[in-house]
Structure 1
Amino acid sequence: MYFPYLRGRQFELIAIRELVEKSLMSKNVMPVVEPVKLSSALIKTMAYFQEKDRALGLVRNPQVGSMLKDLADEKNEKDRGRFYEILKMADILTFLYADANLSANLSAMGQKGIKKQDIATICINQDSIPYLESAYASDCPRFNFIRDESGFRRRMPKQRIMFEDRYPKKSRNVEYLDSEDEHFSSDHLYYEQEGYLGFSDYSVVGNEYSESGFAPYAIAIHIIYFAADQTLRVRHFVSDTNDDITDPAGKFAEALEKLVIWNQTQQLDTFGVQTFEKMYRSRSYPGLGTVKKLSIMHHLELMSRYLDGVK
């Protein structure tokens, strides 16, 4: 089972919603959303997953963004009501970060009718292990997302999900020119024999979170693919004219041409890659949000095909 972990930004939410709309995401893939704000995109995505009877994970104590403040703001009364309404009806798995408030949060969920055995926990800080052990005692969560390190494995042997940031993030897009092709992950090959029920990562986004974006000097397209040994690699297609922030459409065209030429050999045929190739032929530029969306869609469709093939 694969649990792609995504922050609730607009284009990430659109990516998973469109995959379900197009029947391109396997039921062996359950997205986990850490909502960064109470947005119409979040509510629409939750409602669509409910409509299509698809499972979705939702972090109830997000660590970044303004979601908790948004829920407490009276100005958001209508959206808040809709959010909680869908939450009651949809097949949404509650996630909680393990911290000093875990027992109190579990108690609050219990008052809403959610048993602690039906909650997934995220324990990625060594100092949080005692909080989880204390809160669960002889019980265990539905899933426990942990780092693939001995300190976690030794003390949390049950219901484990391997949770790692596998994306080789660079501080600037232009730096990918020095490492155009990199190892991404082999978790899908070994998670079961290493005692995990599933694996999770941050797709091609990475764990780093920033409230605001910026105009990049270089534009990069990141594409996951299978190597001959079935490990996953990531190929970075980067623009060449990167001296300033002008002409993003021209930069995108440069990066896109590299992708199209490379794929003549690779022959990837996911919806995401096919859409990139259509943009190349029409010479269109969709904006950076859509570029990220298509890269995520490609990755999750690729993993869906793989998991459906081995299950």
Structure 2
Amino acid sequence: MYLSCFRGRQYELLALRELATNDLLGDYVLPVIEPVKLSPTLVKTISEYIRVKHQVAVIRNPIVGSFMKDLKEAKIESREETYKKEFQQLYNNDIVVKSIIMQKNAPSLLAHWGKNGIPKQDLLVINTERDFLDLFEQEFVGINPCYALIPEERTFQRRIKHNCVILEDRFKKQSRNVDYQDIEDEFFSEDHLYYKDYGLKGFADYSVIGKNYQETGFAPYAVVIHIVYFAADKTLRIKHFVSDSNEDIYNPAKKFYQAVSKLNKWYRANPFTPTLGLATLLEHYENKTYPGLGSIKKLSIMHHLELMGKYLSEGK
């Protein structure tokens, strides 16, 4: 099972929604959303997963962003109040895997769920902080959550032994997009090859976005397209296609076309059945159209998740 974790930014949610609408995830990919904002896009994304009957995990106590504040401060008869009611209604659906990060507010949320008939064995739990291992053991005495996402560190694997999923950030994010020019191709992951050998229920990462979260973006000097692919030994590698005219922030459409031209050249030399995300990027090359920076990230995410879904489905 592959669990792909996202911080619930706009382009991430749009990627997840489009994958669900087009039935491209398969049965062995479970998206995990840590919502950073109470938004109509979040509500629509969860609603779409319920409509197509594909499970999605949604973290109820996110660490980053304004989601918790948005829920608490939603004013009566406001748009935010409408989103809040819709979110709460959708969250109660069985398609939504109730998910929690082990932190100080976890016990109160677990108690609330218990009172509302949500058993701990149905939960997805993320525990990446050593300081909360004791709390995990206290809350889950004799009970195993459905998924326990933990780091590779031996300390966690010694103390959490059931339904474990290794969660690591496999994306080596650079400080600037232009820095990827020096790393055109690199190793990404081999978790999909060996997770069963270690008795794990699955493997998890942060796709081609990475774990780090920033509240605001900025106009980049370079445009980069991140594309994962299977090497001959079935490990996952990642290509970084970078624009050439990177002296300033102007003309991102031109920069995109430079980057996507390199993608097109590589793909023509190394053809394989394209995913929807990859095919859409190649269409932009053919049509000389510019989708916007957010859409570039969206399509890279879509490519990664569809690729993993196909791989895991074919291996069953």
What interval of TM-score do these two structures reach, taking the shorter chain for normalisation? over 0.9
Equivalent position of 1:103 in the other structure = 107
Which SS does the other structure have where 1:89 is aligned?
A: coil
Instruction: Quote the residue 2:42 is aligned against.
Output: 42
1: distance between equivalents of 2:208 and 2:28? 19
**CA distance in structure 2 between the aligned counterparts of 1:192 and 1:120, rounded to whole angstroms:** 19
1:242-288 Cα shifts (integer Å, max 9, x gaps): 01101101100110100000001221411111111111111110100
Which piece of structure 1 moves more, 188-197 or 112-121? 112-121
Are 1:303 and 2:305 an aligned pair?
Answer: no
- Aligned with residue 276 of structure 1, among 266, 276, 281: 281
Which of 116, 140, 147 is the matching residue for 1:112?
Answer: 116
Q: In 2, distance between residues paired with 1:90 and 1:276?
A: 35
Deviations 1:212-271 (A, max 9, x none): 010000000000000110000000000011011011011001101000000012214111
Shift of 1:22: 1.3
- The equivalent of 2:3 in structure 1 is 3
Which one of the candidate residues 232, 236, 240 is aligned to 2:240? Answer: 236
Instruction: Map 1:170-185 onto structure 2 (within 5 A).
Output: 170-185=174-189
Q: Aligned to 1:121, what secondary structure does the other structure show?
A: strand
Report if the CA contact (8 A) 1:102-1:132 is conserved.
no
Tell me which amino acid in the other structure corresponds to 1:209: Y
Residue 204 of structure 1 is matched in structure 2 by 208
Counterparts of 1:54 and 1:239, CA distance in 2: 37
Q: Percent identity?
A: 45
Q: Deviations over 1:184-237 (max 9, x none)?
A: 000000001112100110000000100101000000000000011000000000
1:168 matched residue in structure 2 = 172
Aligned mates of 1:168, 1:215 — CA distance in 2: 20
Cα separation, 1, equivalents of 2:207 and 2:116 = 32
What SS does the corresponding residue of 1:237 show, helix, strand or coil? strand
- Superposition deviation, residue 25 in structure 1: 1.1
5+ long unaligned stretches in structure 2: none
CA displacement at 1:85 relative to structure 2: 1.1
SS of residue in 2 equivalent to 1:57 = strand
User: Counterparts in 2 of 1:185-204, with a 5 A limit?
Assistant: 185-204=189-208
1:136 aligns with 2:140: yes
Q: What is the SS of the residue equivalent to 2:57?
A: strand
In structure 1, C-alpha distance between the alignment counterparts of 2:98 and 2:270, rounded to whole Å? 39
User: Deviation at 1:30?
Assistant: 0.8
Following the alignment from structure 1 to structure 2, what is the Cα–Cα distance between the partners of residues 296 and 74? 31
Q: 2:3 & 2:62 partners in 1: Cα distance?
A: 17
Count of aligned positions: 311
Counterpart of 1:51 in 2: which secondary structure?
A: helix
Pairwise CA distance, 1:90? 4.6
Aligned partner of 2:249 in structure 1 is: 245
Moved more, 30-39 or 11-20: 11-20
Distance apart, 1:163 and its partner CA: 0.6
Q: Does 1:63 align with 2:67?
A: no
Deviations 1:64-108 (A, max 9, x none): 000001111233211111111111235111111112332222101
* Contact kept? 1:49, 1:55, Cα under 8 Å: yes
Structure 1 unaligned regions, length at least 5: none
The one-letter code of the counterpart of 1:2 is Y
Partner of 2:26: 26
TM-score, structure 1 normalization: 0.98
Partner AA of 1:236 in structure 2: H
Give per-residue Cα distances to partners, 1:111-160, cap 9 Å, x unaligned.
Answer: 23211121111111111111101111222211110001111111111110
User: Do the aligned partners of 1:4 and 1:30 also contact (CA within 8 Å) in 2?
Assistant: yes
Scaled by the length of structure 2, the TM-score of the pair is 0.96
Q: Which amino acid aligns with 2:62?
A: P
SS at match of 1:267: coil
